[in-house]
């Protein structure tokens, strides 16, 4: 293993190491003219840039993926942002667009980060071709000698993983974005954390960002937003859209007496996302008005 002081430059050593270790990657999308992809080719599909003034504080790296990477991963199987966040040296990943990521990795050079992205893509590619993913029909049944059930349940979700309820909500006359995770509710001015359009399908893919409680509090102070830990809540109400104003409405009241009124246009899954996270965080029964 190469060990040296990592700086924001491309030293080529880390990618070369991964290229030697990775095997061919098989496309997940069948196309006649697309064959197995060599690791060196994958490396060329990954663009890494250092941001002097990043859109998201401390996320000083911008990762852009070529369209070819999309042939190797299946978004319905794995979240590439999550897999990248699991790589050594990567602290936080925020997906800005389908193929654009803001990354906090202060100890990695550009080439080290490219190597991390390659390993994340390879992991997603391997899982996408698994003929028997956990929980899927056709997976081998436990043998008679098995003393414990097979592990088919995904590992617990990271408490810091936020999901976007709405990127264009209203609160006290301002346009805000609403994020929830297992620790609390983060309300920021619209556009503070960049994100793509919301998925309005019946089984949506929620926009994600990893934000610790300390980071959430810092963002709220810096951008005149609000970070509301569930431990500080005294009451939460959620109202369905009416016949005239087809907007979801939520009222959040803290023990201190401070409150926040929120409203947004969106689908039922996003409203349930808000309610379920608050229920799980509060562990005090259903939210008043939860559909």
Give pLDDT, residue 287.
47
Region of residue 51 (phi > 0: left; psi between -120 and 50: alpha; otherwise: beta) = beta
What angle, 0 to 180 degrees and rounded to 10, lies between the N-to-C axes of helices 13-21 and 110-128?
20
**Cα 111 from Cα 103, distance rounded (Å):** 14
Give pLDDT, residue 291.
43
Taking 70 as the pLDDT cut, the residues of the chain under it are 1-12, 29-34, 75-78, 130-158, 242-245, 282-291
For 74-86, b where at least 16 C-beta lie within 10 A, e where not — what string?
Answer: beeebbbbbbbbe
Give pLDDT, residue 32.
47
Q: Where are the domains of the chain?
A: 13-128, 161-282
Around Cβ 18, how many Cβ atoms within 10 Å?
21
pLDDT tens, residue by residue, 220-234: 999 999 999 999 998
R_g over Cα of the chain: 21
Q: Which residues pair with 252 in a beta bridge?
A: 236, 260
Q: Which residues pair with 97 in a beta bridge?
A: 100
Q: Which of 227, 222, 214 is nearest to 177 (CA)?
A: 227
**Cα 16 from Cα 148, distance rounded (Å):** 42
CB-CB contact of 13 with 109 (8 Å): no
Give pLDDT, residue 261.
93
N-terminal to C-terminal alpha carbon distance within the chain: 54
User: Looking at the domain that runs over 161-282, which CATH code has it been given?
Assistant: 2.30.29.30
Q: Which of 253, 252, 179, 163 is nearest to 216 (CA)?
A: 179
Give pLDDT, residue 272.
86
């Amino acid at each position: 293993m190469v060990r040296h002081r990592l700086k924001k430059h491309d030293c080529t050593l880390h990618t070369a190491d991964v290229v030697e270790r990775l095997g061919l990657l098989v496309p997940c999308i069948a196309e006649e003219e697309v064959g197995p992809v060599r690791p060196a080719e994958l490396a060329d599909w990954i663009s890494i840039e250092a941001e002097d003034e990043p859109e998201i504080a401390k996320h000083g790296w911008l990762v852009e993926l070529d369209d070819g990477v999309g042939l190797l991963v299946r978004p319905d199987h794995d979240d590439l942002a999550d897999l990248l966040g699991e790589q050594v040296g990567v602290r936080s990943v925020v997906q800005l667009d389908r193929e654009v990521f803001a990354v906090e990795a202060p100890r990695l050079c550009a080439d080290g980060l490219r190597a991390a992205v390659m390993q994340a893509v390879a992991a997603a590619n391997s899982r996408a071709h698994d003929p028997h993913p956990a929980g899927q029909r056709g997976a081998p049944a436990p043998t008679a000698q098995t003393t414990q059930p097979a592990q088919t349940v995904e590992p617990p979700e990271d408490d810091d993983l936020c999901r976007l309820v709405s990127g264009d909500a209203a609160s006290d006359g301002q346009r805000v974005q609403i994020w929830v995770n297992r620790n609390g509710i983060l309300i920021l001015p619209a556009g503070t954390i960049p994100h793509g359009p919301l998925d309005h399908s019946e089984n949506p893919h929620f926009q994600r960002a990893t934000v610790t409680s300390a980071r959430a509090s810092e963002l709220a102070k810096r951008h005149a937003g609000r970070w509301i830990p569930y431990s500080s809540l005294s009451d939460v109400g959620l109202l369905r859209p009416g016949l005239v104003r087809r907007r979801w409405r939520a009222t959040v009241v803290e023990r201190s007496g401070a409150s926040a009124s929120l409203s947004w246009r969106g689908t039922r899954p996003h409203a349930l996302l808000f309610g379920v996270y608050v229920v799980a965080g509060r562990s005090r029964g259903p939210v008043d008005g939860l559909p």
